[in-house]
Amino acid sequence: MLFNSIEFAIFLPVVFLLYWFVFNRNVKWQNLFIVAVSYIFYGWWDWRFLFLIAFTSFCSWGSGLLIARYRQQRIAKIIHILNIALNLSILGLFKYYDFFADSFARLFLQGNSDNLLLHLILPVGISFYTFQALSYSIDVYRQKLEPTRDIVQFFAFVSFFPQLVAGPIERATNLLPQFEKPRTFDYTQGVDGMRQILWGLFKKVAVADTCALYVNHVFGHYQTQSGPTLVVAAVLFAIQIYGDFSGYSDIAIGTAKLFGITLIRNFRNPYFSRDIAEFWRRWHISLTTWFRDYVYIPLGGSRVPKGKVIRNTFIIFLLSGFWHGANWTFIAWGTYHAILFLPLILLGKNRKYLNEVAEGRLLPSLKETAQILLTFALVTVGWILFRADSISQAWDYLLRIPHWGTLYSKGLLAATLLSIGMLAIEWLQRARQHGLDLRSTPHIWHYILYLILIAILFFSYSNSESFIYFQF
């Protein structure tokens, strides 16, 4: 079920009313209801994969109990490793088996992979809920979290429908305790949640989907396009993927607020970053911190010699690229960002910018402006790799950029104006939680809110694109 669909527009208010007026007697009823509606939400796409998410949830819940029971014995470590291996094996089978089989056939069987491929359908959101379930068992094993005996609470934690299929990837230490205590409706939180949903819909329906019309045409016919057109399409894809993914996160976080649940923030205005390190502290925060806490730090993090720090950095960027999909383009994209990160590590400047850009000022300085534009340009080059079907196509795309010619303009004006409007609002609101966080703001912002609502209604009829990160 898509957030930008008529089905969800009916589903959400019905679930909201039932949650607060029928199943509000105690926390057990609320949790049971959350599990039921989350499975309806997920099964709307393909009910067969409900068995898969239920199996993943049960195994992680059971392993947590067994780890706690045998905590001082070697068997706890064995159970922990088996649970990780089982979850990653399921993920690998559905997401990566055909990729490795096809690569093997190309290398050793002259490309004849017909008898090796399984052609399995990739379950929506499997990378997200697998990593979420794994965080629980790992934290239990590390004794950062006591296991829950309430299976309904745990199933609610894994399957909570707002963030089930595209994140944020929640930690059990943050989300699970919220299902353990009674929840009461907070009007202020609910209103803020509705505004965040609207902001997310604007970024997705109006901005990202309008950019997609231009981007899809240019990337689909890039061999016949001029250099300026290719540059503009790359920039608009950078805007598209940000509006699409951060828009989903805003809708998810805002929806969760309607049910008294607080999710972690997943984006913090990444395109205002002054270097690549700052960009990655602000982009897809839940995944970046997952790899940091469960891979980078266990490998030694930054408290090891420079050579090992570089090794650790390349490992997490390669894993991040591979997490996004079974294609060499994603691995190349991760490698590209690791290379960009390398000078900052060698110079010890990878944690230089921890504050908001132009803090306390309306406009950035010339130096900050140059840093933001350079970082955005470097990130945009990486997005060409991310968007391309193959590395050779991405390389061909880049080689054609110096060719001068006429700028393809169909749909460009609308995409440009909407993109500028979105970035302008996020710049003005950069110190707040989201673009329509309107607490203590001038009254004019309420008129902006009405304009955004009109834009959502207008563009929802002309644009309709699935969320990009559903494929991951």
Query: Concatenated DSSP letters for 443-459?
Result: THHHHHHHHHHHHHHHH
CA atoms within 13 A on the CB side of 232: 23
Copy the structure tokens of residue 366.
């010339």
CA angle at 275 for the pair 272 and 276, rounded to the nearest 5° = 100
pLDDT over threshold 70, residue 444: yes
pLDDT value, residue 434: 94
- Which of 404 and 166 is assigned the larger pLDDT? 404
Report DSSP state, residue 297: T
- Which of 89 and 71 is assigned the larger pLDDT? 89
pLDDT value, residue 237: 97
Distance from chain centroid for Cα 72? 37
pLDDT value, residue 446: 79
pLDDT value, residue 386: 95
132 pLDDT band, cuts 50/70/90, is: very high
pLDDT value, residue 422: 96
Out of 121-130, 134-143, 152-161, 192-201, pick the least confident.
121-130
pLDDT value, residue 463: 62
Out of 53-57, 212-216, 351-355, pick the least confident.
351-355
pLDDT value, residue 120: 84
- In the chain, pLDDT over 90 holds for what percent of residues? 75
Report DSSP state, residue 365: -
pLDDT over threshold 90, residue 440: no
Average pLDDT for 316-328 = 91
51 pLDDT band, cuts 50/70/90, is: very high
pLDDT over threshold 70, residue 464: no
Average pLDDT along the chain: 91
pLDDT value, residue 407: 93
pLDDT value, residue 470: 58
Copy the structure tokens of residue 430.
């950069």
Out of 58-72, 312-326, 414-428, 450-464, pick the least confident.
450-464
Average pLDDT for 272-277 = 96
Copy the structure tokens of residue 340.
């960009």
- Which of 294 and 463 is assigned the larger pLDDT? 294
Name 89's Cβ contacts closer than 8 Å, sequence gap at least 6. none
- Which of 181 and 470 is assigned the larger pLDDT? 181
pLDDT value, residue 469: 58
Catalytic residue among 324, 337, 403, 434: 324
SS3 of 24, please? coil
Scored b (16 or more CB within 10 A) or e, 233-254 reads: bbbbbbbbbbbbbbbbbbbbbb
User: What is the Cα gyration radius of the chain?
Assistant: 23
Query: Element (H or E) spanning 85, and its range?
Result: helix 74-95
Q: Give the residue extent of every domain in the chain.
A: 6-184, 189-274+353-471
275 pLDDT band, cuts 50/70/90, is: very high
pLDDT value, residue 369: 97
pTM exceeds 0.85 for this model: yes
Q: Known catalytic residue: 324?
A: yes
pLDDT value, residue 137: 94
pLDDT over threshold 80, residue 109: no
pLDDT over threshold 60, residue 472: no
d(CA 349, CA 347): 5
108 pLDDT band, cuts 50/70/90, is: confident
Copy the structure tokens of residue 235.
């920039």
pLDDT over threshold 70, residue 146: yes
122 pLDDT band, cuts 50/70/90, is: confident
161 pLDDT band, cuts 50/70/90, is: very high
pLDDT value, residue 111: 67
